Amino acid sequence: MSTRAIRGATCLTADDSAQMTDAVVELLSEIMSRNSISKDDIISVLFTATPDLKCTFPASAARKLDFGDVPLICAQELDIDGALSHVVRVMVHVETQLPKSAIKHVYLRGAEVLRQDIAQ
């Protein structure tokens, strides 16, 4: 078993709590599905959000997936001129048998432009 990091991101169209919850639940669900992992395989999750997202913590949405015993933390993304707005990024640390080359990083809702080199 190895420890791997899985990247992902999603975009919101507005600073809205319901939209944040829907987008984060969708993102985490896709990461788990595409990488054949369960909640029990997850070590921890780091979320970042762009400075224009103030409605709620992305980690709050993860609790909708029963992530209560998974360490979660949120941070603010750097405020870079010209950067894509309304973005939630995630780095999920997991235990898996998958080699690094088989990890599927997930970018949704317009966030694919951030990492076209690894977006699945």
Residue 117 falls within a domain, yes or no?
no
- DSSP state for residue 105 in the 8-state scheme: B
Residue 120 falls within a domain, yes or no?
no
Q: Is 95 a catalytic residue?
A: no
Q: Is 7 a catalytic residue?
A: yes
Mean of pLDDT values over 87-116: 91
What CATH number is attached to the domain comprising 51? 3.30.1330.40
| pLDDT confidence of residue 117 | 63
Q: Is 77 a catalytic residue?
A: yes
Q: Is 74 a catalytic residue?
A: yes
Residue 55 predicted with pLDDT over 70: yes
Number of domains in the chain: 1
Prediction pTM value: 0.92
Q: Is 115 a catalytic residue?
A: yes
Residue 45 falls within a domain, yes or no?
yes
Q: Is 11 a catalytic residue?
A: no
- Residue numbers of the domain that contains 58: 2-110
CB atoms within 10 A of CB 116: 8
CB 37 within 8 A of CB 103: no
Give the list of residues 6+ apart from residue 4 with CB closer than 8 angstroms, or none. 93, 94, 95, 96, 98, 100, 103
Residue 15 falls within a domain, yes or no?
yes
Residue among 4, 11, 77, 109 flagged as catalytic: 77
